Structure 1
Amino acid sequence: MSRNRITDILNIDYPILQGGMAWVSTGELALAVSLAGGLGIIAAGNAPADVIEEEIKKVKKETDKPFGVNIMLLSPHVDEIMDLVVKEKVPVVTTGAGNPGKYMEKLKEADIKVIPVVPSIALAKRLEKQKVDALIAEGTEAGGHIGELTTMALVPQIVDAVNIPVIAAGGIADGRGMIAAFALGAEGVQIGTRFVCAKECTVHNNYKEAVIKAKDRDTVVSGRSTGHPVRSIKNKLTGKFNQLEKEGAKAEEIEELGAGKMALAAKDGDTSLGSVMAGQVAAMIKEEKTAKEIIDEVVTEAKELEQNLKLDF
């Protein structure tokens, strides 16, 4: 648990990043995580630049600690968001749903650290050549948009394929997951679902309760036929997705059903017809805690395991 390339690159106390979750990862949550020694991340999602600017100001008003913005490259506002993070001198940008190559020159000129999420070795190698600072290898256990490979299979393959540091994501909620990720060669972890139940997270309480009540098999994947599968907690909406896919519905029809459903759950608290995106670790989350309590607990458990784990073969 000593300092490594991730803590040095990001200038943070612990190699823990908070996942960028649309409608969940607001300025309040990012601020709390950064103050606790991790890297808080604001999720841009599909929001326009003026909305994200307000979230950035919430963090900058209270601290000068590093934080980041997660930018979905499929967002209709991606160009404006990129201009915004440059203007606001956001320290770190994580990206999802594609290759940020066309923005790299602009981001690096602004001295912004760029850390894309990758689901495959091919993209990891391509991004290393584009001089990104690190990579987030995200397994299919994660909530939200996912790839196909598991974290345990994906992380060591990406670590072996590149020379830049790798952050593991997907299926990590405690110190055990963190130590496991380090054993696979990662130098940091990204935790999403557990931070949904941080006290500072402004998501609707119904959403938090759905995560806390979730059992081991309660997350399901929808939308595989569209090429953009999403993991969320099983409810009436996922049942509708499943029915459409069984009937061979077109991708447009399936995507139309999903439009606005994340906000319906996260803001309005409709956890029946809204999209309650969460990872498979949801069943491990039993209560709401502050971001500091979560980070302290993860780090303490990881340190104890590091000291006590003695393997004798």
Structure 2
Amino acid sequence: MRTALTELTGCRHPIVQTGMGYVAGARLAAATSAAGGLGVIAAATLSVAEMTVAIRNVKERTDAPFGVNLRSDADDAAERVETLIREGVRVASFALAPRRELIARLRDAGVVTIPSVGARRHAEKVAAWGADAVIVQGGEGGGHTGPVATTLLLPQVVDAVDIPVIAAGGFFDGRGLVAALAYGACGVAMGTRFLLTSDSPVPDAVKRVYLDARDTARDTVVTTKVDGVPHRVLRTPFVESLERSRLLRAVVNGARFRRLSGLSWGELIREGRRMRHGRELTWAQVLQAANTPVLLRAAMVEGRADLGVMASGQVVGVIDDLPSCRELIERIMAEAENALLALETVRRR
């Protein structure tokens, strides 16, 4: 299946594995790309040196194109961009709108730039700045998310910009891929579905918590108590305790993160401010934003589902298996082919 996404990035199938902190490392990205999708390394939780090692690790495992997801508000964003260029990475993705100068530098070096957005105006902005494509995530998606459903946001963005649009939020199978194409997208991006694969490094006990979440309406919740902005996560007793948290819990968690990261209190607070995304937050939320990596790491690396935060899309309620990335992508493409054939039958009647 050839679309603007496959033409732009060189991947065989129009399926993107999103950059998920502590989840989307070299192992998952390489498995996705080797299977024909576009694997993406999540670099926000890596140092520049660790990011470089991960990039080289993927290149050792596959010669297929892959991407790296960056934080545009990081102090070392420009250094990271130069590293991507030097290492020959095909795609740079951004969880936030990248600065205009970062897009220009990447484009000059031939690196495809694909920011993620949650609103039409943000898509229009990055398109005007020269982004090559955009990932549009609707409210069903996991992690940081907005209030507008994919079925409404996606056509708005497709109609508003003249660059390829990749749909995210609520996708897990071939029917969804065909639906996204019908809306005018050039492919789909999936996070939760790739997290729940055998190639994902997430501990088995945590994967089981995801698989046990069968209610698409109740088993995830959008909370601002993780880092001050809307964040869709699995509903757990720990998350419910965060919902009731005040400054004291944030300070305790902040102290834990400070010990782990080696940051001073001043650096911790500056990091929290950087993660505010221009929102008005309380001091508790500023500290919580800074120590968000601890909450993610507790679950995704340490296997402590009882003490960590697990980002999740609503799609978790319809996922019940752990295929390999290759099995998943082959299944999605077969389902998409069948859906297209069914539509052709309808058209001919």
Change (3 A) 1:76 1:275: farther
Inter-partner Cα distance in structure 2 for 1:232 and 1:101: 31
Amino acid at match of 1:222: T
CA contact (8 A) 1:74 1:98 kept: no
Once the two structures are TM-superposed, the CA of residue 252 in structure 1 deviates from its matched residue by: 2.2
Cα contact 1:36–1:295 (8 A) shared by 2: yes
The higher radius of gyration belongs to: 2
* Map of 2:312 onto structure 1: 278
Letter in structure 1 aligned against 2:330: D
Letter of the 2:241 counterpart: K
> 1:290 aligns to what?
324
Question: Does residue 123 of structure 1 match 2:157?
Answer: no
Deviation at 1:197, TM superposition (A): 1.6
Per-residue CA shift, 1:117-171, capped at 9, x if unaligned? 0111111111111111111011111111112211111100000001111000011
Q: Which runs of 4+ in 1 moved over 6 A?
A: none
Q: 1:252-296 deviations in whole A, cap 9, x for unaligned?
A: 254366451101100000011101111111111111110000001
Once residues 256 and 272 of structure 1 are traced to their aligned partners in structure 2, the CA distance between those partners, rounded to angstroms, is: 20
Scaled by the length of structure 2, the TM-score of the pair is 0.84
Uncovered stretches (5+) of structure 1, i.e. residues with no partner: none
Structure-2 change in CA distance of 1:102 and 1:92 (3 Å): same
Q: Distance in 2 between matches of 1:115 and 1:285?
A: 27
In 2, Cα distance between the equivalents of 1:64 and 1:107?
Answer: 21
Partner of 1:219: 220
2:245: which partner in 1?
244
Partner of 2:24: 25
Aligned CA distance change for structure 1 residues 224 and 101 (closer, same or farther; 3 Å)? farther
Cα pair 2:104 2:130 within 8 Å, conserved: no
TM-score, normalising length: structure 1: 0.93
CA gap of 1:220–1:105, structure 2 versus 1, over 3 A, is: same
**Is contact 1:82–1:103 with CA below 8 Å preserved after alignment?**
yes
Partners of 2:136 and 2:44 in 1: CA distance:
19
2:127 and 2:172 map into 1 onto residues whose CA distance is 27
Count of paired positions:
312
How much identity, in percent, do the aligned residues show? 34
How far residue 92 of structure 1 moved from its aligned partner, in angstroms, is: 0.3
Note if contact 1:47-1:77 (Cα within 8 Å) is conserved in structure 2.
no
Q: Does 1:264 align with 2:265?
A: no
Deviation at 1:23, TM superposition (A): 0.3
State the AA in 2 paired with 1:33.
T
SS at match of 2:330: helix
1:244 is paired with a residue whose SS is coil
- In the alignment, which residue of structure 2 is the partner of 1:306? 340
Whether the aligned pair in 2 keeps the contact of 1:48 and 1:77 (CA below 8 Å) is no
Matches within 5 A, 1:56-205: 56-205=55-204
Secondary structure (helix, strand or coil) at the match of 2:320 reads coil
Distance 1:194 1:252, change over 3 A: same
CA distance 1:161–1:198, change in 2 (3 Å) = same
Aligned mates of 1:52, 1:193 — CA distance in 2:
22
TM-aligned CA distance change 1:77 to 1:238, over 3 Å: farther
